[in-house]
């Protein structure tokens, strides 16, 4: 059985995957990029990429939609999700940037959790593209990977939150207490104490999060990988550093990108 996250990935056309790859091939330029994902006849296409800063991007949704229609014929009614790139930062790979940030997740979490009350979307899928260092034929290479995250319904994300963060009541989470913020000593955590990395891993264990390597070898377009748990490989110190990373004021800027409009 194909896992739900992989089904989502498999909907992208080969052309869309090439475009995704090309946007992240300039990852050394340290620019975030973001595109809308459109669905047409059951396949996913991406619109034009908007470029942002090192770890922030803001777009005007209506204008962006008009542009995608003009340049690619993708209609606002076909718009489904977003995909964005976390490039290198200071020329380096940070493990935390290989995950969705708290700002990437908070609005979507609340929208799906409360969808029966707020009329929001009952299901939301998101994609991030990031560089990853790995060994190929004994040599260190950087490949672009895509992390796919599916919020399939309220019940599932609430349950993933409970499993991954047992001390937290998922229904008490708000935008204010769930988003990481920088503190005076430069650390950054959220008031609820949510570990958003563990939350993503919990969804992975349920089949709703996974990773794809889009460089590929042997002319293969990409290699689906299992929903690996990177957290397990971190030492406790690294894990601590990861939690602090995630974070700074920089991630706030995502709030400007109105994903619902």
Residue whose CB is less far from Zn ion, 126 or 164? 126
DSSP annotation of 229: -
| Part of the chain binding Zn ion (CB under 5 A), chosen from 65-73, 99-107, 140-148, 212-220 | 99-107
Size of the site for Zn ion (CB under 5 A): 2
Q: Which stretch binds Zn ion (CB under 5 A): 16-24, 35-43, 93-101, 152-160?
A: 93-101
| Interface region with Zn ion, contact rule CB under 5 A, candidates 10-18, 95-103, 135-143, 145-153 | 95-103
Is the CB of 113 or the CB of 259 nearer to Zn ion? 259
CB of 30 to Zn ion, least distance (A): 14
Closest by Cα among 93, 45, 42 to 71: 45
Q: Is residue 78 helix, strand or coil?
A: helix
Under 8 Å between Cβ of 34 and 66: no
Tell me the residue nearest to Zn ion as measured from the CB: 104
The candidate with the shortest Cα–Cα distance to 9, out of 153, 196, 214, is 214
Q: For Zn ion, give the closer residue by CB, 187 or 250.
A: 250
Does 107 interact with Zn ion (rule: CB under 5 A)?
Answer: no
> Which of 96/170 has CB closer to Zn ion?
96
In the numeric block, which tokens belong to residue 259? Answer: 């994903």
Which lies closer to Zn ion via its Cβ, residue 106 or residue 168? 106
Kindly state the smallest distance separating residue 103's Cβ from Zn ion, in Å. 7
* CB-based burial, 16-36: b 16+ in 10 Å, e otherwise: bbebbbebbeebeeebbbbbb
Shortest distance in whole angstroms from residue 96 CB to Zn ion: 10
The H-assigned helical ranges of 73-113 are 102-113
Distance CA 43, CA 39 (A): 5
Nearest to 98 by CA among 141, 132, 53: 132
User: Which of 104, 107, 108, 195 forms a contact with Zn ion (CB under 5 A)?
Assistant: 104
Instruction: Catalog residues that contact Zn ion under the rule CB under 5 A.
Output: 101, 104
């Amino acid at each position: 059985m194909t896992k739900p996250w992989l089904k989502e990935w498999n909907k992208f056309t080969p052309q869309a995957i090439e475009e995704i790859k090309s946007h992240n091939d300039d990852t050394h330029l340290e620019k975030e990029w973001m595109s809308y994902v459109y669905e047409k006849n059951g396949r996913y296409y991406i619109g034009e990429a908007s470029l942002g800063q090192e770890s922030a991007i803001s777009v005007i949704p209506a204008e962006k939609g008009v542009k995608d229609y003009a340049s690619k014929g993708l209609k606002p009614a076909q718009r489904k999700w977003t995909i964005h790139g976390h490039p290198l930062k200071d020329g380096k790979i940070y493990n935390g940037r290989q995950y969705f940030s708290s700002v990437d997740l908070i609005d979507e979490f609340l929208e799906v959790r409360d969808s029966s009350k707020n009329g929001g979307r009952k299901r939301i899928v998101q994609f991030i593209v990031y560089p990853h260092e790995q060994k190929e034929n004994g040599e260190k290479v950087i490949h672009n990977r895509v992390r796919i995250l599916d919020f399939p319904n309220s019940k599932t994300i609430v349950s993933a939150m409970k499993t991954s963060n047992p001390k937290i009541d998922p229904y008490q989470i708000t935008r204010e207490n769930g988003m990481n913020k920088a503190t005076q000593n430069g650390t950054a955590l959220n008031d609820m104490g949510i570990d958003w990395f563990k939350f993503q891993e919990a969804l992975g264990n349920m089949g709703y999060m996974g990773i794809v390597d889009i460089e590929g070898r042997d002319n293969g377009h990409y290699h689906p990988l299992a929903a690996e748990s990177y957290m397990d490989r971190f030492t406790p110190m690294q894990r601590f550093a990861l939690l602090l990373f995630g974070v700074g004021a920089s991630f706030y800027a995502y709030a400007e990108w109105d994903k619902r409009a």
